[in-house]
Amino acid sequence: MTLEDFNALPEPSLDEQLAACLPVPRWVAAVRDGRPYAGWPGLEATASAAAAHLTEDELATALAGHPRIGERASGPNHNASASAREQAGVDPADAEAARALAEGNAAYEERFDRVFLIRAAGRSAPEILAELTRRLDNDDDAERAETVTQLREIALLRLRQVVS
């Protein structure tokens, strides 16, 4: 939709579109209530700022909407079409990459007690694996901050696809 359409969209419809980008009610409200936007830079700045700091509950809610890297989204909390587009660089037929991602995901979940999240769009399986391996060495605070950054990048990418 155009920015003009975005600015004019009724709240329930807009909230649904925004929640598909980042299912955090505070973020949805901040982006919605920032309307009207004169251009993408203003919308992007508002969306980015509102996603910069997430509470533990907001982080858990947002992560619930993301499948493991290398797995396909399913279930009511997942944005399956967006996840499939974003993970297009991960070939599910590549058994070695699938095995390495499954092992890395398991190690990450054991270490941090949450799903590994990365903006997968534009990244290959080897790039994702390298980041996963690097991030396993993060301390808890650094990894939480990195996860929030990745969620923000995904939200902005999805928002850009909504407003074209």
Confidence of residue 97 (pLDDT cuts 50, 70, 90): confident
Report the predicted TM-score, pTM, of the whole model to 2 decimal places.
0.86
Q: In sequence order, what DSSP letters do the residues of 128-158 get, joined into one string?
A: HHHHHHHHTTS-HHHHHHHHHHHHHHHHHHH
Type and span of the H or E element at 83? helix 80-86
Can you tell me which residue has the tokens 């095995």?
99
Best-predicted range by mean pLDDT among 66-80, 93-107, 108-122?
108-122
Cα separation, 18 vs 109, in Å, equals: 27
- List of domains in the chain: 3-162 (1.10.3330.10)
pLDDT grade for 65, boundaries at 50, 70 and 90: confident
Q: How confident is the model at residue 77 (pLDDT cuts 50, 70, 90)?
A: very low
> Strand locations in the chain, DSSP E?
none
- pLDDT surpasses 60 at 130: yes
Q: Among candidates 158, 151, 161, 140, which has minimal Cα distance to 51? A: 151
**How many whole angstroms separate alpha carbon 52 and alpha carbon 30?**
12
pLDDT for the residue numbered 95: 82
**Does the pLDDT at position 88 exceed 60?**
no
Q: Measure the CA–CA gap between 113 and 85, rounded to whole angstroms.
A: 26
Which DSSP letter does residue 164 get? -
SS3 percent helix, strand, coil of the chain, rounded to 5, is 65, 0, 35
What pLDDT is stored for residue 78 in this prediction?
A: 45
